Amino acid sequence: MFERYSHRARILIFLALDVARKRGGDFIELDDLLEAIIREDQGEFPSMFAEAMQGAAASVTRAVRFFPETAAEALLATLDTRPRGLQIRSGDLPLSRDVKKALARAADNTGDGKTSVIEPLHLLEALVEDPESRLAQLLRDNGITRQKVAAALAGPTAR
């Protein structure tokens, strides 16, 4: 399923799993994926990866940040209000139906002939483009629009 995903995008899915485990979830939810995307964007990737992999070093170089610091802080503060489980789960967790839909949208968005590799910004684009989604509205309220993500994907600093 993840053969078209860049190394960074694959690790983001793994980190979303770690976020879901820490909150005691039964599934990897969209909130977990968004938290992983934001934290990676803000430079927390090496420390998150080391924590999730018990001391391993991340071998991924970050590009230019997409999220303005104030938007990242506001989004993370909102996501941190989610209920947390009493214990950290171990093992794999399935993707929620909404995450599966978002991953399918990301794959569809890269099927335009311009690229076949799914990058972290493609995942963000898939989250923000659902007009009915609570997360999409939260992103838009913080200045993150589909147009801005598309422009970042198309620009010279695209990740």
pLDDT digits (tens, 9 = 90+) for 76-123: 999 876 666 555 556 678 999 999 999 999 998 886 656 689 999 999
In the chain, the amino acid numbered 67 is F
Cα 63 to Cα 56, 66, 99: the distances in Å are 21, 9, 25
Q: Which domain holds residue 25?
A: 7-57+64-84+91-154
CATH number at residue 124: 1.10.1780.10
Which of these, 152, 157, 97, lies nearest to 125 by C-alpha position?
152
Q: Is residue 23 part of a domain?
A: yes
The mean predicted confidence, pLDDT, of the chain is 82
Handedness of CA 83, 119, 44, 15 (dihedral sign): positive
For residue 131, the model assigns a pLDDT of 79
